[in-house]
């Protein structure tokens, strides 16, 4: 027993070291300073501090969770150790930074950062500050662990909403400024201060959301017994409310937000397409941007009067562009799809790069414009009405999403969709069941391409220009990340993923530099802890309910696949 407790303290110490290392890394990468000015709760907590101390809190929490049966004082001691050790490492960073100028190597190791870490206290005394603050963070982790299961979820929900609202204070106020002035005045008076939430406001927001979440979680347990028709009616009401809100959004929000919405919309469309390829059929396509590019460029070549090759209108060019991308998906897929898994990923990545390089090259410049891209692409027109504003295009994109989502949804439970999923689960078995692998995969690939092509044509119309430099690998990764975070194979997951990963960074401009950092982290973290995504596919959810064991499901998937791939 004594030995066991000794190893627990050792574990706590190691956790503290790792937590401290993470905090140092986060500081040196520049996150702490970059977000240091964004107050979540004015005067109390900034986003930078949150990012700095969140790992310490999480490490403390997960370290305690690993040994749930220990007495409370051990848990308390463990979190204290983790907090102190992590804090001491931060102090060490401050000390080194004060003795040596680290800036020639680590660009972010500025005096401002160290000031921030010591909360402005000058150094000899300031070295005490990081251990104290990180001790607080670790004890907060202990506190969260102490709350019983169900209220804990509510508390976490409340905290998340507070963080979100506080961070997006400017956006929330600005968005509602135009039409909903009285609302924003009330919000300003009660909840928000000049930066972030007022402490009282934060408390109100926290209590309201935590309360709602607690109430909601209780209700959900009852909801199972409700009749299906009642559920259906409720769902229809909910959907119509969402529809009306969606229709009104660009009128209420300004140009800036509509632009973000349009981008999110295009990504949703691409996400729905890639979701078919990756989520349904399990084919990892890393060159997906190629199809967006082909759609956009076909639209450009056909309609641009800058090039003057065809001078078609948007509606004339649209079907041609769609057929071209569908065919491109078909033809590119034909040779590639005989490969499996990771080879396929690399080959599609290669294809994406080849398309970009071809578009960039001088060779095809007379047709594709080379580095300058194509300008003055036609915008859609109905009669004499031109969709020349982002607000108007929003509706076109909305219609496009509607069609694409409907097709994806219908395909999912069709014969083809079930064949895709069979292939995803196990290729050999699927083939043995009489599924034509190549044909089925081709259909997935070309349907996905078609959706990206549609997004491409609308994207070209939105910007009235296309540039090769916007067709990078990063776009493919963005789309991939959003469907993985949302939940592979899940259609609502695509919407969630796009809103979270494209919408939020669009709102927070400070985020832009660190966007891919967070994406990378999110991918790794998701794969390690929750490979099914934020909004898992219904089938998998069903499995979860059957088994009542959340953690087992991915492993069940793993077992047969692992034996086959060996």
Partner 1 sequence: MFKRRRQRATFTDIVVWAIGAVIGIAVIYGTFVTWRTAQYSAEQWINLTIDGLKLGGVYALIALGYTLVYGILRMINFAHSEVFMSGPFTAVFLAKYLDSIGFYNDHPIISLILITLLSATVAVTIALLLERIAYRPLRYAPRLVPLITAIGASFFLQYTFRGLYGNDLEVYPNMDILDGTVAIGSIDVPKTDIVVIISAFLMMFLLYSIVQFTKTGKAMRSVSEDKEAAALMGINVDRVIVSTFALGGASAGVAGILYALIFHTAHFYMGFIPGLKAFTAAVLGGIGNVVGAWVGGTLLGLIESLGPNLFLSGLGVPAANQLKDGIAFAILVLILIFRPTGILGERLSKAKA
CA Rg, the chain, in Å? Answer: 26
Task: For residue 517, state whether it binds partner 1 (rule: CB under 8 A).
Answer: yes
- Cβ 515 to partner 1, closest distance in Å? 8
The CA distances from residue 370 to 137, 174, 253, 355, 374, in Å, are 53, 40, 36, 12, 8
- Cβ 524 to partner 1, closest distance in Å? 4
CA distance 116 to 51: 13
Using DSSP's 3-state secondary structure scheme, residue 325 falls into helix
One residue of 335, 383, 432, 545 binding partner 1 per CB under 8 A: 335
**Secondary structure letter of residue 305 according to DSSP:** T
Binding mask 350-389 for partner 1 (x = CB under 8 A): xx-xx--xx-xxxx--------------------------
- Of all helices (H) and strands (E), which one includes residue 226? none
Of 203 and 526, CB closest to partner 1: 526
Of 185 and 558, CB closest to partner 1: 558
Extract the runs of DSSP E, i.e. beta strands, from 419-484.
none
User: Angle at Cα 440 formed by Cα 343 and Cα 286, nearest 5°?
Assistant: 35
Task: For residue 254, state whether it binds partner 1 (rule: CB under 8 A).
Answer: no
Task: For residue 554, state whether it binds partner 1 (rule: CB under 8 A).
Answer: yes
Binding mask 102-121 for partner 1 (x = CB under 8 A): --xxxxx-------------
Task: For residue 128, state whether it binds partner 1 (rule: CB under 8 A).
Answer: no
CA distance 494 to 478: 12
Task: For residue 432, state whether it binds partner 1 (rule: CB under 8 A).
Answer: no
Using DSSP's 3-state secondary structure scheme, residue 389 falls into coil
Task: For residue 47, state whether it binds partner 1 (rule: CB under 8 A).
Answer: no
- Cβ 134 to partner 1, closest distance in Å? 21
Task: For residue 341, state whether it binds partner 1 (rule: CB under 8 A).
Answer: yes
> How many binding residues for partner 1 (CB under 8 A)?
64
CA distance 142 to 56: 11
Of 413 and 436, CB closest to partner 1: 436
Helical spans, DSSP H, in 284-389: 289-303, 314-336, 341-360, 365-368
Question: What tokens were used for 492?
Answer: 């609502």
Q: Which one of the spans 310-318, 336-344, 389-397, 398-406 is the region binding partner 1 (CB under 8 A)?
A: 336-344
Of 24 and 74, CB closest to partner 1: 24
One residue of 12, 19, 23, 31 binding partner 1 per CB under 8 A: 31
One residue of 347, 397, 430, 454 binding partner 1 per CB under 8 A: 347
Q: Which one of the spans 84-92, 327-335, 399-407, 538-546 is the region binding partner 1 (CB under 8 A)?
A: 327-335
Long-range contacts of the stretch 502-506 (C-beta < 8 A, 24+): 502/260, 502/263, 502/264, 502/267, 502/478, 503/260, 503/261, 503/264, 506/259, 506/260, 506/263, 506/264
Of 25 and 223, CB closest to partner 1: 25
Q: Which residues lie across from 41 on neighbouring strands?
A: 45, 197
- Cβ 550 to partner 1, closest distance in Å? 16
Q: Which one of the spans 55-63, 406-414, 447-455, 511-519 is the region binding partner 1 (CB under 8 A)?
A: 511-519
Would you give the end-to-end CA distance of the chain in angstroms? 41
Q: Which one of the spans 29-37, 143-151, 219-227, 536-544 is the region binding partner 1 (CB under 8 A)?
A: 29-37
Tokens 């969770």 belong to 65
Positive/negative CA dihedral, 537, 542, 548, 551: negative
Q: With beta carbons less than 8 A apart as the criterion, state whether 135 and 80 touch.
A: yes
- Cβ 4 to partner 1, closest distance in Å? 24
Of 547 and 555, CB closest to partner 1: 555
One residue of 42, 519, 537, 553 binding partner 1 per CB under 8 A: 519
The CA distances from residue 361 to 467, 469, 482, in Å, are 12, 12, 30
Contact set with partner 1 (CB under 8 A): 25, 28-31, 104-108, 282, 284, 286, 331, 334-336, 338-343, 345-347, 349-351, 353-354, 357-358, 360-363, 438, 473, 477, 480-481, 484, 514, 516-517, 519-524, 526-528, 531, 554, 557-559, 561-562, 565-566
């Amino acid at each position: 027993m004594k030995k066991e407790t000794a190893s627990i303290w050792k574990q706590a110490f190691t956790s503290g070291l790792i937590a401290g290392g993470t905090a140092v890394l986060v500081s040196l990468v520049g996150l702490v300073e970059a977000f240091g000015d964004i107050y979540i709760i004015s005067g109390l907590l900034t986003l930078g501090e949150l990012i700095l101390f969140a790992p310490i809190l999480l490490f403390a929490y997960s370290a305690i969770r690993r040994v749930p049966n220990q007495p409370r004082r051990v848990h308390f001691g463990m979190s204290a150790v983790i907090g102190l050790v992590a804090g001491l490492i931060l102090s060490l960073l401050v000390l080194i930074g004060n003795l040596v100028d680290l800036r020639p190597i680590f660009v972010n190791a500025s005096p401002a950062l160290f000031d921030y870490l010591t909360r402005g206290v000058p150094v000899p005394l300031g070295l005490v500050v990081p251990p104290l603050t990180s001790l607080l963070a670790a004890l907060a982790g202990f506190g969260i662990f102490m709350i019983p299961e169900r209220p804990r979820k509510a508390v976490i929900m409340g905290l998340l909403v507070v963080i979100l609202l506080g961070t997006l204070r400017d956006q929330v106020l600005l968005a509602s400024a135009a039409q909903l002035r009285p609302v924003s005045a009330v919000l300003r008076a009660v909840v928000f201060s000049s930066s972030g939430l007022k402490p009282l406001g934060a408390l109100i927001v926290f209590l309201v959301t935590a309360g709602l979440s607690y109430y909601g979680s209780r209700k959900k347990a009852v909801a199972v017994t409700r009749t299906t028709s009642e559920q259906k009616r409720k769902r229809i009401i909910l959907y119509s409310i969402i529809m009306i809100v969606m229709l009104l959004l660009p009128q209420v929000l300004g140009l800036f937000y509509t632009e973000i919405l349009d981008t999110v919309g295009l990504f949703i469309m691409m996400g729905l397409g890639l979701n078919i390829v990756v989520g349904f059929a399990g084919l990892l396509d890393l060159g997906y941007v190629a199809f967006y590019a082909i759609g956009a460029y076909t639209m450009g070549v056909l309609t641009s009067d800058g090039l003057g090759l065809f001078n078609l209108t948007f509606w004339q060019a649209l079907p041609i562009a769609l057929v071209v991308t569908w065919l491109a998906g078909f033809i590119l897929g034909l040779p590639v799809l005989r490969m499996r898994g990771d080879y396929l990923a690399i080959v599609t990545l290669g294809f994406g790069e080849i398309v970009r390089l071809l578009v960039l090259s001088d060779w095809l410049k007379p047709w594709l414009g080379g580095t300058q891209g194509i300008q003055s692409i036609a915008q859609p027109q109905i009669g004499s009405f031109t969709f020349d504003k982002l607000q108007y295009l929003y509706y076109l994109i909305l219609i496009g999403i509607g069609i694409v989502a409907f097709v994806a949804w219908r395909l999912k439970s069709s014969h083809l969709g079930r064949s895709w999923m069979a292939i995803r689960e196990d290729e050999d078995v699927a083939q043995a069941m009489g599924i034509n692998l190549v044909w089925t995969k081709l259909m997935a690939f070309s349907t996905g391409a078609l959706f990206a092509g549609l997004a491409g044509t609308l994207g070209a119309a939105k910007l009235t220009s296309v540039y090769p430099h916007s067709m990078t690998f990063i776009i493919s990764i963005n789309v991939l990340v959003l469907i993985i975070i949302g939940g592979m194979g899940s259609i609502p997951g695509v919407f969630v993923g796009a809103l979270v990963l494209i919408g939020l960074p669009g709102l927070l401009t400070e985020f832009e530099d660190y966007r891919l950092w967070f994406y990378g982290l999110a991918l790794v973290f998701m794969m390690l802890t929750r490979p099914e995504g934020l909004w898992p596919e219904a089938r998998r959810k069903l499995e979860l309910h059957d088994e009542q064991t959340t953690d087992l499901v991915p492993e069940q998937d793993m077992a047969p696949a692992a034996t086959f791939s060996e």
